[in-house]
Amino acid sequence: MEDWKGQCHRCGNFSSSHGMSFFNVDLLCGDCLDKEEAHPKFAEAKETELAAVMRGDYNFPGIGKPADL
């Protein structure tokens, strides 16, 4: 996984705040994180990610970014 260098992996915007995608391992700016949260599959992505962490799989790659995100 790449470290945060101030630039969103998805939209390319520079941002001071960031977080990791729940759909894949991209590091995202606040705007992209908001878009993920609004996506219909966000709950599923988050649950799947949390289930992986619970079983000790900290390198879980996510369910994959939906084509319409």
Give min distance, CB of 36 to Zn ion, in A: 10
Residue of minimal CB distance from Zn ion? 8
Q: Which residue's entry shows tokens 């894949």? A: 24
- For residues 42 and 30, what is the distance between their CA atoms, to the nearest angstrom? 15
- Interface residues for Zn ion in 8-27 (CB under 5 A)? 8, 10-11
Which CB sits closer to Zn ion, 11 or 51?
A: 11
Q: Residue 33 has which token pair?
A: 């994180």
- For residues 2 and 61, what is the distance between their CA atoms, to the nearest angstrom? 13
Told to check if 45 binds Zn ion by CB under 5 A, we report no
Summarize as ranges the residues that interact with Zn ion (CB under 5 A). Answer: 8, 10-11, 29, 32
